[in-house]
Amino acid sequence: MTEVSRLRRPSSPDAATLPDSDDLLLEILLRLQPLPSSLPRASLVCKRWHRLVSDPGFLRRFRAHHRPPPVLGFFTSLEGEFVPTLDPPNRIPAARLTLPPHPAHVSLFIGCRNDVALLISLDLKQIIVWNLVTAHQCGVPYPSLHPLIGAVVRSARYDGQSSLCPFKLVFLCADNVHGRFVRLYESQSGAWGSMIPTTVEIFDVFLMAANVLVGNALCCLLRSGSILKVDLDTQNVAVIEKPVGITSDHLLLQYSFQILQTEGNGLGLAVVSAHNKVQLWERNTSSDGDERWFLQKTIRLDMLLSLEPSMGREVPMIVGFAEDANVIYVSTYDGLFSIELRSMEFRKISENSMRTYCYPFASFVAADGAIGGA
């Protein structure tokens, strides 16, 4: 027998020392891009892959691994029409997320957060809480005769798959007896809390303005550029004035300001100034112990977006903010743009300008509605 024939093939490693093949595959699948088409496409490879990516435990890990979720598009204010912004195959059909017209009552769309949209039913005098992924809805009685602006906040335990509970509603209200006040609703108790008075004037309320969750405080933009801050823990309400000396060239002042959440989970403010500039401010504690606004950065929109000189043209408007993705939406005479504030990456969303506020929608909704959704 030759030397070659006496050589043996290496022995197979002990099966007990090998990682489970499902575990290995799950780690690979976990790193797929968090786009609407990723998991549906993976599920079509074979039955085994479909079983793995459909498992609720995997879906929870996938969401946790890819925070924040991708921005799929935005809802227009008041009408609540969904406008998808991703390209195929990740484009979610508008009809899938647009609230169908209800013949019995008129509803106004006033915001969304964590897969949940908030509407006011004028005829039913209810606040409608609507899970955009699972399609669950519930109605909450008006907190007062005149609910002005409001927001929904999901529990930190929200896993992206449950229906609605638990959630909180925060509303600025008004009536002829109590003036202006804030009320909080807890879905677990099913009741509105007591009235918390505030000095906000009716004319300063911007009905379409988005709100931003900064830490555990809900911050709502007022028409003047000031901020109504509601601490959800202590239920204290305060009004924070805009930076001193800030002026705007825009006739509609509310479109010159946008509340931000800074990298350190602090309060920020974007302000459109003259000559296509956007100033980014952050509120910090100064050396003397007082909280003040500090200018952090100035963005030249004409240079960043390659805009033509704006002589005689309309001033840019900030029309939306995706709080998890840290993206602002700016409407210019050249169209609608999204700008990621950390990287300064921008994308042209539409050739048309937006003349109203938009509410960006970020979610792990799947393109076919079968994987990662309800």
Q: How many CB atoms lie within 10 A of CB 64?
A: 11
Read off the pLDDT of residues 284-320 as tens digits, 9 standing for 90 and up. Answer: 887 787 889 999 999 988 888 877 765 556 778 899 9
Query: Which pLDDT score is estimated for 274?
Result: 67
Read off the pLDDT of residues 21-46 as tens digits, 9 standing for 90 and up. Answer: 788 899 999 999 999 999 999 999 99
Rounded to whole angstroms, how far apart are CA atoms 137 and 309? 47
pLDDT band at 7 (very low <50, low <70, confident <90, very high): very low
Q: Is the pLDDT of residue 273 over 80?
A: no
Considering only 16-20, 162-166, 258-262, which range has the smallest mean pLDDT?
A: 16-20
Read off the pLDDT of residues 187-244 as tens digits, 9 standing for 90 and up. Answer: 989 999 999 999 888 888 877 777 899 988 999 988 888 899 999 999 999 999 988 8
Are 173 and 127 a contacting pair, CB within 8 Å? Answer: no
pLDDT mean across residues, the chain: 83
Are 109 and 76 a contacting pair, CB within 8 Å? Answer: yes
Q: Which of 49, 98, 48 is nearest to 72 (CA)?
A: 98
